[in-house]
């Protein structure tokens, strides 16, 4: 289960969001389709124009979508994006 409190502690930075998309070779439209989050919202997050703490459900959906496709976003201090090993 995701720790939603940790999600809000700068886990989904604009750079992490772009890096996670890059690992999957996804466009914003691809992520939008997979997550149900609008492409304009994704664009705003990636460009720092939207405050992450204002929409925890959106951040959770994005992180859950990445996790479902084998990509984990690591919270500080271990900032980064990694592929989740398949069992």
- Comparing 71 with 81, the larger pLDDT belongs to 71
25-39 burial, b at 16+ Cβ within 10 Å, e below that, comes to ebebeebbebbebee
The pTM (predicted TM-score) of the whole model is 0.78
Taking 3-state DSSP, the helix, strand and coil percentages for the chain, each rounded to the nearest 5, stand at: 55, 10, 35
Task: Specify the pLDDT at position 39.
Answer: 95
The domains found in the chain, sorted by start residue, are: 4-83 (1.10.260.40)
Q: Which tokens sit at 64? A: 């859950």
Task: Specify the pLDDT at position 21.
Answer: 94
Q: What is the pLDDT of residues 26-50, one digit of tens each?
A: 999 999 999 999 999 999 988 888 7
């Amino acid at each position: 289960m995701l720790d939603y409190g940790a999600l809000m502690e700068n886990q989904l930075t604009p750079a992490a969001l772009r890096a996670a998309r890059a690992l999957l070779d996804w466009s914003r439209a691809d992520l939008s389709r997979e997550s149900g989050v609008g492409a304009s919202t994704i664009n705003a997050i990636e460009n720092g124009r939207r405050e992450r703490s204002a929409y925890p459900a959106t951040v959770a959906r994005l992180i859950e979508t990445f996790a479902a496709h084998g990509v984990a976003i690591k919270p500080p201090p271990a900032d980064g994006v990694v592929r989740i090993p398949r069992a």
